């Protein structure tokens, strides 16, 4: 894709920006996710209409 569909310099810049974003906004790992909290939203984890 790089160089054929997308200019190489633009491709490299987007990857750099993506990597920079991922450093600043790390993904929560399963150990860090609070599994005891209730799901949010109307009717979450309940049968609809019952």
In a domain, 50, yes or no: no
Give the model confidence (pLDDT) of 9-48 as tens digits: 999 999 999 999 999 999 888 776 666 766 666 666 666 6
In a domain, 37, yes or no: no
In a domain, 49, yes or no: no
Indicate whether 6 pLDDT > 80: yes
Contact between 1 and 10 (Cβ < 8 Å) = no
pLDDT for residue 27: 87
Expressed as residue numbers, the domain containing 4 is 1-26
In a domain, 8, yes or no: yes
pLDDT for residue 34: 67
pLDDT for residue 30: 77
Indicate whether 2 pLDDT > 80: yes
> What's the number of domains the chain is made of?
1
In a domain, 48, yes or no: no
pLDDT for residue 24: 96
């Amino acid at each position: 894709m790089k160089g054929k569909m997308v200019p190489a310099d633009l491709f490299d810049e987007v990857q750099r920006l993506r990597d920079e974003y991922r450093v600043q906004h790390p993904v929560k790992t399963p150990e860090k996710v609070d599994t005891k909290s209730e799901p949010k939203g109307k009717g979450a984890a309940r049968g609809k209409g019952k």
